[in-house]
Amino acid sequence: MKRSLFASFVVVTALTACSKKEAPKEGAATAAASAPAASASGPTTTTASQPAAGGKSAALAHLPGKCDAVTRIDLAGILGVPAFKSKVVPALEEMKKGEPKDEKAKEAKAFLADAGIDPLTDVKEIAVCLRDLNAANPADQKITLVIAGTFKPGAVVPALEKNAKSGKYTVEELDGTKVIVDGSKTMFLAQASDGAIVMSYSKESLTDSLKTSDAAAAFNVPVDASIAVVMPGEFLKTAMAGKGSPFAAQADKTQRAVLALHLAKPDLELRVGMTDDKSATELAGAAKMIFGQMMQGEAPQGDPMAPVMAVLKTATIDSKGTDAVLSVAIPAEKLDELATMMVESIKNGGPAAGGALGQ
C-alpha cells in the first residue's frame, strides 16, 4: 500500500481525529458490536458504526476471525487525554482552518467536504487484522483495516472517486457496492452499510469485512485501552521458535500476548500467557535480560523516540501466575513532552499535511 490512495487516506483521517464525543450525525447508525475485555489467560452482531463504549467496538465487529495479530486504536480517546486535548487538538483545529498548500492537500480537503466528514469529530477508532506475518515475502502479508466513526453511509467512495485525481485507482462494483481498487489491485476499499470504512487485500475478504459479526470477539481485545494489540498463540509460537530467537525454549508453552497502552492512567502493559507458572517465570527471566540489553544507551537529542525510550527504561518485568508481564508507569510529564513534539510536527507540516488522497 506504500504511497497509495489507501495509506494516504488513513494518515489524513487518523492524524486529524479528535476526542469530541458527540451524538452521531443524522443518517449514521448507532448500535455497535460486543467485544469482551481481554486478559492473557455469546455471539452477537451489529449493524452500526459508532465510538466504542461499554465494552463495544464497531470497528472490531468488521474484522475476520483469522488473524495473526489484531490491533485497535481508540483515536477519539487518545486525543481526549488532557495532554493531547489541550495541545494537539488546538493545533489540529488550526491546521484544518488553513488553506491547502499543494494539490494533494486540496484533494483531501475536497474529499472530506464531499464525504461530509469532519476529521476532528467523526473519526473514532481503527481496527486492523494482520495475516501471514510469517510469510517470507512481506508482499504476501495481508491486512484488513476498518475505520469507524460517525460517517454518512454511501458517501465515502463517491467522494474519493470525485476528488482523488492524483491517485492510481479504479472503481468497480461488488454485489452492488462501489469499490475503490488501487493500481496494483492488492487493496480494496468500500463503505459498509453502517458507515464504517473498510479496506482489505482481496474482494472476497472485503465482502466478508463489509458485514458485521462476533468473529473478532474471540481475540478479547481490551477496548478500554488507547491502543491494544493481541497476538494469538499460533502465530507467537512460530515467531518465538524462529532461528536465533532467545525465546525458543518457551515457544511451545505460549498461549497468547496482549499489549495494552492506557493513556488515561497512563501506563503500558505487555502480558504473555503461558501454559504454566514455570514457563512464565522462564520467559520473564529471558525477556528481562534481552530488554536490559536493548535499553542500553540514550536516544539522540531531538529524536522522537527519546521520550519513549526514557519511559521504557523504567519498565519492570516479572511473572504473575501463568503470565509473563512487562509493566511501565508513564509519567505525566512524558505525555506532555510527546504532545509538544506532536504539535511541532503539525506546525511544520506534519505527515498529514502533505498526503491527501494520491500516490
In this structure, which amino acid lies at residue 117? Answer: I
Predicted local distance difference test score (pLDDT) of residue 69: 95
Can you give the pLDDT at residue 64? 92
**What is the predicted pLDDT for the residue at 21?**
34
Residue 40: per-residue pLDDT: 57
Which strands, in side-by-side order, build the sheet including 323-329?
Answer: 169-174, 177-182, 188-191, 197-200, 142-149, 123-131, 69-74, 227-232, 254-262, 267-274, 323-329, 316-320
CA 333 to chain centre: 24
Helix or strand holding residue 291 (H, E): helix 277-294
Q: Render 51-97 in DSSP notation, one character per residue.
A: ---TTB-TTGGGS-S--SEEEEEEHHHHTTSHHHHHHHHHHHHHHHH
b (16+ CB within 10 A) / e for 124-142:
bbbbbbbbbbeeeeeeeeb
Is the bond preceding 307 in cis, omega lying within 30 degrees of 0? no
Nearest to 74 by CA among 133, 30, 127: 127
Cell of 19: 476526542
What is the number of helices (H) and of strands (E) in the chain?
A: 11, 12
Distances (CA, A) of 114 to 87, 106, 107, 178, 236: 29, 12, 10, 16, 43
Q: What's the pLDDT score for residue 136?
A: 80
Rounded to whole angstroms, how far apart are CA atoms 30 and 32? 7
Kind and range of the H or E run holding 332: helix 332-347
344, amino acid identity? E
Name the DSSP class of 246. T
In 3D space, the residue among 149, 145, 157, 162 whose CA is nearest the CA of residue 195 turns out to be 149
In this structure, is the dihedral angle defined by the CA atoms of residues 53, 324, 263 and 354, taken in order, positive or negative?
negative
Alpha carbon distance 154, 260 (integer Å): 33
Q: Which amino acid is at 229?
A: V
How far apart CA 18 and CA 118 sit, in angstroms, is: 10
pLDDT at 30: 30
Give the pLDDT of the chain (359 residues) as one tens digit per residue: 333 333 334 333 333 333 333 333 333 333 333 333 334 543 232 223 444 444 579 999 999 999 999 999 999 999 899 999 999 999 989 888 888 888 888 888 899 999 999 888 899 999 999 999 888 888 889 999 999 999 999 999 999 999 887 778 899 988 889 999 988 888 999 999 999 999 999 999 999 999 999 999 999 999 999 999 999 998 899 989 988 889 999 999 999 999 999 999 999 999 999 999 999 999 999 999 988 888 887 777 667 677 778 888 889 999 999 999 999 999 988 889 888 888 988 887 654 433 333 33
Residue 239 sits at the vertex; the CA angle it makes with 238 and 245, to the nearest 5 degrees, is 115
Other C-beta atoms closer than 10 Å to the C-beta of 292 total: 12
Nearest-angstrom CA–CA distance, 5 and 10: 9
Cα-Cα-Cα-Cα dihedral sign, residues 237, 37, 30, 44: positive
**Cβ of 296: how many Cβ atoms within 10 Å?**
7
Contact in structure between 357 and 8 (CB atoms under 8 Å): yes
184-186-191-196 Cα dihedral, nearest 10 degrees: -130
Question: C-alpha cell of 347?
Answer: 506546525
Strands 197-200 and 169-174 turn out to be unpaired
All cell numbers assigned to 121: 469529530
Q: For residue 7, what pLDDT is reported?
A: 37
Q: What is the pLDDT of residue 256?
A: 95
